[in-house]
C-alpha cells in the first residue's frame, strides 16, 4: 500500500486548486479514518492557505459534545452530515468533509464491516455517499480516504458550477 499522501496527491492538488479558486477554507471531521484525511489534505499544495484543520471524533462523546451530533446512530448517513456541519461550525470553515463507518472486523450498530458514510459540504450544498468496502480494517480506512477526497472535490466543483450559473 502506497503512502496516502502520495497516493492522493493528484486529488489533493485538485482540491487545493479549487479551494483557492473559490476562496474557501476546508475542515474535516473523521471517525473511521482517525486523521488520515487530514494528513492527505495537509500534504496538498499551499494547505496553510485553505485547510482550517480537522477533528478526529472517534469517541461518540466527541461527536455529540463537540460537533453537535444528535443522530441516534453514530454509524449513519445522518451522523456523517451532522459531523460535516459541526466541523464547519467549530472550525469556522466554508466547506468540509466527514466520515463515519465500520472498519471491522465485525459489525457495529447493525452495520456490516466495511460500511462507510461520507458527507461533504460546500456552497451551502451537502453531498453524501454510502460505500461497502471489502478488506481488512486498514484497507477500509485506505479506501475511505479516497472516497472522502473524491466527494469533497465533487462538492467543491458543484459549488463552483453553481457560482458560474448564478
d(CA 37, CA 87): 14
CATH number at residue 115: 3.90.950.20
Residue 85 lies in a domain: yes
Instruction: Report pLDDT digits (tens) over 108-141.
Output: 888 999 999 999 999 999 999 999 999 999 999 9
The per-residue pLDDT for 120 is 98
**Dihedral pair phi/psi, residue 26, rounded to 5°:** -125, 145
Instruction: Give how many domains the chain has, as a whole number.
Output: 1
Residue 144 lies in a domain: yes
Whole-model pTM: value is: 0.94
The per-residue pLDDT for 164 is 73
**Domain housing 52:** 25-165
Amino acid at each position: 500500500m502506497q503512502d496516502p499522501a502520495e497516493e492522493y496527491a493528484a486529488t489533493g492538488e485538485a482540491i487545493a486548486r479549487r479551494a483557492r479558486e473559490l476562496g474557501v477554507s476546508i475542515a474535516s471531521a473523521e471517525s473511521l479514518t482517525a486523521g488520515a484525511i487530514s494528513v492527505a489534505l495537509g500534504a496538498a499544495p499551499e494547505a496553510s492557505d485553505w485547510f482550517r484543520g480537522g477533528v478526529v471524533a472517534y469517541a461518540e462523546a466527541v461527536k455529540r459534545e463537540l460537533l453537535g451530533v444528535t443522530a441516534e446512530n453514530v454509524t449513519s448517513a445522518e451522523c456523517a452530515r451532522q459531523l460535516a456541519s459541526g466541523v464547519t461550525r467549530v472550525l469556522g470553515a466554508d466547506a468540509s468533509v466527514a466520515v463515519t463507518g465500520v472498519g471491522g472486523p465485525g459489525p457495529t450498530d447493525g452495520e456490516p464491516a466495511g460500511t462507510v458514510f461520507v458527507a461533504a459540504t460546500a456552497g451551502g450544498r451537502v453531498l453524501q455517499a454510502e460505500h461497502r468496502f471489502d478488506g481488512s480494517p486498514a484497507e477500509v480506512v485506505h479506501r475511505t480516504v479516497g472516497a472522502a477526497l473524491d466527494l469533497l472535490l465533487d462538492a467543491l466543483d458543484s459549488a463552483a458550477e453553481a457560482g458560474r450559473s448564478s
